[in-house]
A and B are shown apart, each in its own frame.
Chain A
Amino acid sequence: MSAVTQGQAAPRSSIFNDPKFRSTAIQVLLVLAIGWFAWRIVHNTQINLHNRNISSGFQFLWSTAGFGVNQALISYSETSSYGRALLVGLLNTLLVAGVGILFATLLGFTLGIMRLSRNWLVAKVAEIYVEIVRNIPLLLQIFVWYATVLKPLPAPARAPQIGLPWPGGGFIIMAAVLGGGAWLLRGLYQRTQSVVMRVVATLLLFFAAWTAIGVVREFGLSTINFVPLGIFLSNRGIMFPRPIFGESMWIELAALVVGIVLALGVARWARRRQEQTGQQFPTLWVSLGLILGLPLIVFLTAGAGATFEFPELKGFNFRGGMTLIPEFLALVIALSTYTASFIAEIVRAGIQAVSHGQTEAAHALGVRPGVTLRLVVIPQAMRVIIPPLASQYLNLTKNSSLAVAIGYPDLVAMGGTVLNQTGQAIEIIAIWMVVYLSLSLMTSAFMNWFNSRMRLVER
């Protein structure tokens, strides 16, 4: 009793003005509203599914799919299960995303560095590329690559064969003309500042090369021969030889692994030695020699580890070998060229974000421009580049779902087919969401780890 009277003695404001009470009340209301909403959805769905005679659950994953697929990384036939069909789709998604990310990174970094080039033409070409490609919808670009570039390629019967360029008989003459011309040009650029002289001399070099090609041809010599590789370009895709691994393949693989391990060891030793003594060691060349040289020695002594099965034209299509279907090619080309335009901007912004004083300081210390870029500018730029780069990789992975528009059997396309056949909409969409969400989370987790390794460590 006395406690109550004591409590009443102090003037108390309304309970609604108590922040704790308010925040609790709002949260309880929110949870109740979401719970009610979710319950309504579940309830309606149950009624609707019941009315449509669809049984929910994942049992359908084990029943026979009954449809074929034009690209599968694991063995798959029409008698395989729906679950296996979805797995094929997932692997195809991962393949196209991985290859796309590789090419997008290479092209994007090239374009980003081109945009910063001293050469106005080079910078402008990269800028125009970026402005055109990133402002056109990706789906339209996929259609363009698929329908107007890859599909009009010749049929297999008339498919051109791709060859490995190999120096021909006239190559030495060409090399002499170009090398001598370049040497003369260099001398001229050092002697004169006159723009007219420089332009005329550069054009003369091209004219000399042009004439040299004509002269070489006149003598029946070719500058470049093409060694046929058994790679064919047709409207059914790119056909290329399939390696069949023999027994000595294992020794070669082992040699490769040993080479890589040795190279890593050498790199560690070289770094430690440089930190202690300041002496540099040609790590790159030694590593290359170890990684490439060891397998080469094994190859020369133990013989070829793999034989190739070449694609052969039989009837209307090629038999044997391996095929990259045009859907895959269109998707990879469109995804990587499109994403590269965004990566180029990220790379440019990252390099520009490094204060110019860093470059000036390096130059003042007498560090050469190339080394400055490699050891001073790029490591600092990478810190700015990596986070947005990670989100571009994620975008590319998500955009690979546009495969469904041209019939590349990725996860969404396969899921769509399964959905149409079974009507299991909720399960399929749940699988899509779980897969893409976990891909996103894994990529961002990896990138966060990488980012924390690259981060500036301050005292």
Chain B
Amino acid sequence: MSTLSPSVAWVRDEEAPRLPPPPNMTGIAGWIGANMFPNWYNGVLSVLFLLFIAMVVGNLIDWALLKAVFVADDRTACVASPEGACWAYVRAKFAQWIYGFYPIDQRWRVNLAFLLGIGGLIPMLIPRIPYKRETVLYLLFIFPIATLILLTGGHFQFSAASWISVLVSLLIFAAIMLALSFGAGLLARGAALRIVGIVAAVVIAIMIILSVDFGLNPVETSQWGGLLVTLVVAITGIVASLPLGILLALGRRSDMPAVRVFSVVFIEVWRGVPLITVLFMASVMLPLFLPAGVNFDKLLRCLIGVALFSSAYMAEVVRGGLQAIPKGQYEAANALGLTYWQSMGLIILPQALKIVIPGIVNNFISLFKDTTLVSIIGLFDLLGIVQSGFQDPKWASPQTGASGYFAAAVLFWMFCFLMSRYSMFMERRLTTTHRR
């Protein structure tokens, strides 16, 4: 037992006064000091970068604002100001960039289609808004058919032969389903009848709606152009690639060797070749593959090529999602006695697809950028129409090209940047791990 001598023991019994942080570490000055002038070489670097930024921004303002021509009826003013942008040209051509050669008095139809799309997309993209299932049905069925009728004019004249072939296919489908349920007992009888009824009703209803005359003037796809074609190609490509991509991803993970080999070969071939060769294939080779007399529209051929191409990329994205689902989920579904399609449709895919939403959006961004390639095979997408406008002698000036490219780049950039921000937002919402 030892005792402490009172002269040594000292315990602080009140809090030390709180000192303010040193003035060099707070406020704007502190931030600048820590982030731009922490040591002498970083200080020098900061000043060099500031000079560089000032030069770039200064030149840009000079070109795009100070020396630019905003209002003019033709090239004269732009030729007179050879060091400034020619925005008058962009203004004159802008409507054409959006609608292409769509008849001017019919442009309301394109606007209405854009509105229908935005009306479906906004409730789809905001996670808080309910009725997702209804929105998806709207976007996958009602919106495409309405847009198809609006843009082409509808009133498709189906030949008797095509009606007969559709009816025969429906009958074969019904026979298979009924054989599966009544003969093999793989499906409940009520379910089989319901599926057959719904599919037949939907197919026949679509064909009837498409053949109704709504009194709209027909517009050939060769008259479509600009942003309209860009969006049609990109959206059709991504929507069509989703079911195909899911099937391919499931096929790639299948136990059946034939299914797996087919999926792997399909995916790797499309992913291994550049899109431009796929587009050449769609425009040159597809007509050779079809029976004599059958001919597809150029835009439709291109859409088929884009959809097949992007389905391979979609399959890889979905596969990533499937692999991320813990094995316990698969085993639990099996333990409950669910069939393959039940476990995929009810347990695995809802989780996997939710994880890969950012990946799907990223796929859409790259597809959106890649649609510019259709201008090489002679379709007038946004870039194609911007380029074709340069030949207009009315607007030939030294800065016409640069102004046109700049404006088109800004348009493309806005779309892609917004989508990439959305993808990042979803990624943050969907990840639940802790981050540093």
Contact = CB atoms under 8 A, between A and B. Distances in A.
Contacts of B83: none
B289 A44 contact: yes
Chain B, interface SS category: helix
Interface stretch (B93-101, B279-287, B317-325): B279-287
A377 B328 CA distance: 35
Interface string A119-131: 1111001000001
Given A136-B412, A402-B373, A16 B184 contact: yes
Interface in B175-196: 180, 184-186
A135 interface: yes
Interface in B150-173: none
Interface stretch (A1-9, A194-202, A315-323, A379-387): A194-202
Contacts of A201: 43
B273 A140 contact: no
Given A182-B44, A202-B40, A402-B373, 8 more contacts: A121-B35, A148-B402, A202-B47, A206-B47, A429-B285, A432-B280, A436-B273, A440-B272
A121 B269 CA distance: 43
A405 interface: yes
A205 B43 CA distance: 11
Pick from B256, B273, B417 the residue with the most CB of A within 10 Å.
B273
Given A119-B46, A136-B416, A429-B277, A419 B284 contact: yes
A425 B285 contact: yes
A144 B405 contact: yes
Interface residues of B, number: 73
Pick from B288, B291, B416 the residue with the most CB of A within 10 Å.
B288
A452 interface: no
Interface string B250-276: 000001111100100000110111111
Nearest to A147: B401
A302 interface: no
Interface stretch (B26-34, B121-129, B235-243): B26-34
A404 interface: yes
Nearest to A139: B372
A140 B97 CA distance: 15
A41 interface: yes
A30 B33 contact: no
Given A202-B47, A425-B284, A440-B272, A140 B372 contact: yes
Interface string A64-81: 000000000000000000
Interface in B395-413: 398, 401-402, 405, 408-409, 412-413
Contacts of B32: 195, 199
Given A132-B413, A185-B44, A143 B292 contact: no
A200 to B, nearest CB: 11
9 contacts: A27-B258, A34-B262, A121-B46, A125-B53, A135-B413, A148-B401, A201-B43, A202-B44, A425-B285
A285 B281 CA distance: 54
Interface in A427-448: 429, 432-433, 436-437, 440-441
Given A45-B289, A140-B372, A404-B276, A202 B46 contact: yes
Given A135-B413, A137-B372, A402-B373, A125 B49 contact: yes
Contacts of B287: 48
B45 A122 contact: yes
Interface residues of A, number: 70
A23 B47 CA distance: 69
B277 A196 contact: no
Contacts of B43: 185, 189, 198-199, 201-202
Given A30-B259, A132-B413, A139-B375, A44 B290 contact: yes
- Which 9 pairs between the two chains have the least Cβ-Cβ distance? A120-B35, A135-B416, A195-B33, A16-B184, A27-B258, A440-B272, A398-B274, A137-B369, A401-B274
Interface of B: 22, 24, 29-30, 32-33, 35-40, 42-47, 49-53, 180, 184-186, 255-259, 262, 268-269, 271-277, 280-281, 284-285, 287-292, 365, 369-370, 372-373, 375-376, 383, 387, 398, 401-402, 405, 408-409, 412-413, 416-417, 420, 436
A31 B275 CA distance: 27
Contacts of B37: 189, 195, 198-199, 202
Contacts of B271: 440
A49 interface: yes
Contacts of A276: none
A394 to B, nearest CB: 8
Contacts of B275: 398
Contact of A436 (B40, B262, B274): B274
A248 B24 CA distance: 65
B256 A23 contact: yes
A443 B180 CA distance: 47
Interface of A: 14, 16-17, 23, 26-27, 30-31, 34, 41, 44-45, 47-49, 51, 118-122, 125, 131-132, 135-140, 143-144, 147-148, 152, 182, 185-186, 188-189, 193-196, 198-199, 201-203, 205-206, 356, 398-399, 401-402, 404-405, 412, 416, 419, 425-426, 429, 432-433, 436-437, 440-441
A143 B372 CA distance: 11
Pick from A121, A131, A205 the residue with the most CB of B within 10 Å.
A121
B35 A432 contact: no
A30 B376 contact: no
A298 B79 CA distance: 59
Nearest to B276: A401
Contacts of A48: 287-288, 290, 292
A398 B273 contact: yes
B156 to A, nearest CB: 24
A426 B408 contact: no
Contacts of A405: 375-376
Given A119-B42, A140-B383, A425-B285, A436 B277 contact: yes
A148 B405 contact: yes
A406 B270 CA distance: 24
B29 A426 contact: no
A207 to B, nearest CB: 10
A27 B257 contact: yes
Contacts of B387: 143
B408 A140 contact: yes
A442 to B, nearest CB: 11
Nearest to A135: B416
B298 to A, nearest CB: 15
A412 B274 CA distance: 10
B417 A118 contact: no
Nearest to A186: B40
Given A147-B401, A401-B276, A429-B277, A49 B408 contact: no
A142 to B, nearest CB: 10
B185 A14 contact: yes
Contacts of A118: 35, 38, 42
A432 B284 CA distance: 14
Contacts of A401: 274, 276-277
Contacts of A147: 401, 405
